[in-house]
Structure 1
Amino acid sequence: MHHVMGYSWDEIMAMVTIFSTVGGGLIWLLHLAIKSGTEGLSNKLSQLINRVDNLNNMMSLIESAANRTTRRVDTLEDRFEEHEGEAKVRNQRITALEKEVFRRNEHY
């Protein structure tokens, strides 16, 4: 019989068969672990993506509402300044009229 490194061909084939079976089993287990692990991760990742999209939409709505509010406040400030200017003019008129009326009363 032929011997390689002190083993006969049938012993070498037995070792190759054992190593192939064990290696194949380990590869199958590794594949199963990766597949089941990544499916859970994929589900969690898709949930995270959906939540980020919802958050992005909500932030867009908040931003548009804030912009509308800012425009409304600016408009109200402009109107307030107009009214304030008109009130100053009226106060000056009242003051002028009071001076005129009290001067007339002093002459009598």
Structure 2
Amino acid sequence: MHHYVMGYSLDEWLAIVTIISIAGGGLIWLLNFAIKNGTEKLSNSVKTLINQIDNLSHSISSIESSARRTENRVDRLEDKFEEHIGEAKVRNARIKNLEHEVFDRKEKG
């Protein structure tokens, strides 16, 4: 007693399912293999890019820190320069006062 579904016997249906399963499994394995190899190279490239960005970030932080120290030194030098200018103005005023005293006395004397 043989059973037929849509004109095929049970043995023929099992053979068709087996062939489709093997072909599908092979296709899935091939796609999986291709995707893993493709993404592995991409993953390595992304890791390299991330490392380079980290190095760049560290370099920028170092430059920023150095720039802050330089800015602080320049500010201190500007303050000292302003002090010296103030002291020079006081000296110049004293010199002018002494010149007036000395030369005014000579003209009167």
| TM-score, length-scaled by structure 2 | 0.90
**What is the one-letter code of the residue matched to 2:16?**
M
1:46 aligned residue: 47
Give the Cα–Cα distance (whole angstroms) in 1 for the partners of residues 83 and 101 of structure 2. 27
Task: Render the CA deviation track for 1:46-99: whole Å, top value 9, x for unaligned.
Answer: 101111111121112111111110111111011101101101101111111222
Once the two structures are TM-superposed, the CA of residue 18 in structure 1 deviates from its matched residue by 1.6
**Identity over aligned pairs, percent:** 64
Give the Cα–Cα distance (whole angstroms) in 1 for the partners of residues 31 and 106 of structure 2. 108
Give the Cα–Cα distance (whole angstroms) in 2 for the partners of residues 6 and 100 of structure 1. 134
Mapped pair 1:102 → 2:75: no
Mapped pair 1:80 → 2:81: yes
Runs of 5+ unmatched residues, structure 2: none
Structure 1 segments of 4+ aligned residues over 3 angstroms from their partners: none
Matches within 5 A, 1:10-49: 10-49=11-50
Q: How many residues are treated as equivalent by the alignment?
A: 108
Give the Cα–Cα distance (whole angstroms) in 1 for the partners of residues 41 and 82 of structure 2. 61
